[in-house]
Structure 1
Amino acid sequence: MITTAGLRKSYGGVTAVRDATVEVLPGKINALIGPNGSGKTTFFNLVTGLIKPDSGTVHYRDTDITGRSPHRIAHLGLGRTFQLCRIFPRMTVLENMLVAVRRTRLRELLAGIGNPAEIERARGWLRRTGIEHMETAEARELSYGQQKLLELAAVLMAEPELILLDEPAGGVNPALIERLVTLIRELNAEGHTFLVVEHNMDMVMGMSDHVIVFDRGAPICAGPPRQVRSDPRVLEAYLGV
């Protein structure tokens, strides 16, 4: 679904991503792992248009999206979450859901006017993520794990085909991680492709179909979890053995 060829990004004398040729398999739960500083989030930002590559290309299906703006890429069917939640803390949970849909103008939202169909769809996603009981609460009142579920629910309002999750389990308690994994599997079964950056290896190896490993900015291995887990390059670079 996503293919990159020779992707490279440097900041001064530091190369964050180098010669990254990667394939994200359609219809699968793909994971991207690697040590801290190995270029995973930079790779996400290159794919989603937040930063432009120094060289190389990014294709979504058959479309070259290299260097396109984030909103143009999102309109093609890509959605993403961030390491640190990007929500509107003083808006209610339901308002956060509705503002994610461009058809709802902010002025109308603040005036209490909303599209009934969009409101019902938003409530449906809140039910799926298990936070429907918080719809009238301000987003800042949610736990950190609930805020991550809200961010994902807001992404789903745009009906993306490909969902990129940047450390969804970071700072989240085990019960919410289990709920998140269940939701990812359900959404994948319904046709959504995932690319997940995550340090929780039990989560990654338990739910992923395809794992990509980065080290020092470049992919060093890709394949099914069992194959990746035993690859000597991964053991050396990621596990330090």
Structure 2
Amino acid sequence: MSDPDGLATEGLTKSFGGVRAVDGATVTFHQGRINALIGPNGSGKTTFFNCVTGMIRPDSGTVTYRGRDLTGRPPHRIARAGIGRSFQLCRVFPRMTVLENMLVAVRRTRLRELLVGARQAEDIAKARGLLVRVGIDHLENVEAGNLSYGQQKLLELAGVLMGDPETIMLDEPAGGVNPALIGRIGTLIRELNAEGRTFLVVEHNMDLVMSLSHHVVVFDRGRPIAEGPPAVVREDPRVLEAYLGV
């Protein structure tokens, strides 16, 4: 079922050389819900993310959000439209403290303006509140490179929240993270969704996907092959074939 307010693509295609990483993908993710995008390795999920968020330009097709055409827009324009994202490999500044990473995430035009501008105190207060929210406020003066990988994931999520996005796209939030922090990340996603934020999560941890998501889209060879509630998708023979070859 389509959602006119949701994030949607139509015929989205991206090739690298002779390989179509995303192949005419037409899919809608529902606003106000926790959506998951799953599929075998190499099925095009991260390339799809990158096309949607302006990291790479699609060869053809469209990306729309709340009825607005965002196709090929640069990442800062996508962010202004209300979409934030994390990355498969954490993007933090390892020599900066946790708090400094949060302030950089505000993405002002120049770092000097960020550090001495009139909104500095407001931004610091917001950053500290979000660090409390994700549970790493006690680490605000620690260099990000000294955090565990799971703590870096929490820092990256907190940084995304500094931009107040309506929709948050997370690329493997549980990848390389210990079970206790996976549980914390799952709880945060549920809480933030209950407060009105939409999620689109790429994830290989099927236990997390099936317990967390309202709507699941399955990719194989660059295009969606199945979608629906988790209980339906997990029994779909096309999904079993894509994952298990059965």
The interval holding the TM-score normalised by the smaller chain is over 0.9
1:60 maps to 2:42: no
Of 162, 165, 169 in structure 1, the residue corresponding to residue 174 of structure 2 is 169
Q: CA offsets per residue over residues 32-89 of structure 1, 9 Å max, x none?
A: 0000000000000010011111111110111000011111111111000001111111
1:1-241 mapped onto 2 (5 Å cutoff): 1-103=6-108, 105-107=110-112, 115-241=120-246
- Segments of 5+ residues of structure 2 without an aligned counterpart are 1-5
Q: CA deviation at 1:116?
A: 1.2
Partners of 1:63 and 1:75 in 2: how far apart?
A: 12
Q: Distance in 1 between matches of 2:232 and 2:38?
A: 14
Kindly state the Cα deviation for residue 146 of structure 1 after the two structures are TM-superposed. Answer: 0.2
TM-score, normalised via structure 1 length: 0.97
Give the SS at the match of 1:195: strand
Shift of 1:117: 1.4
Looking at structure 2, the residues matched to 125 and 94 of structure 1 have their Cα atoms a distance apart, in angstroms, of 10
Size of the aligned set, in residue pairs, is: 241
Hey, what's the Cα distance between the residues in 1 that align with 2:84 and 2:184? 20
Q: Report the AA paired with residue 116 of structure 1.
A: A
Q: CA RMSD in A?
A: 1.5
Q: Aligned-pair distance for 1:239? A: 3.1
Alpha carbons 1:29, 1:188 under 8 Å: kept? yes
1:135-177 C-alpha deviation (Å, 9 max, x unpaired): 0011001000000100110000000000000000000000000
Cα offset, 1:107, TM superposition: 2.0
Look up the equivalent residue of 1:88 and give its one-letter code: F
Q: TM-score, with normalisation over the residues of structure 2?
A: 0.95
When structure 1 is superposed on structure 2, of 81-90 and 103-112 the one drifting more is 103-112
Cα distance in 1 between the residues matched to 2:238 and 2:50:
25
Q: Is 1:99–1:105's contact at 8 Å kept on the other side of the alignment?
A: no
Moved more, 112-121 or 169-178: 112-121
Letter in 2 for 1:9: K
Paired letter, 1:98: L
| SS in structure 2 of the partner of residue 22 of structure 1 | strand
Tell me how far apart the structure 2 counterparts of residues 111 and 54 of structure 1 sit (CA, whole Å).
Answer: 42
What SS class does the counterpart of residue 238 from structure 1 fall into? helix
Contact 1:95/1:109 (8 A) holds in 2: no
Distance (Å, rounded) in 2 between the aligned partners of 1:81 and 1:68 = 18
Residue 150 of structure 1 aligns with an amino acid whose one-letter code is: L
Q: Percent identity?
A: 73
> Which stretches in structure 1 are left out of the alignment for 5+ residues?
none
Q: CA deviation at 1:105?
A: 4.2
SS at 2:100 equivalent = helix
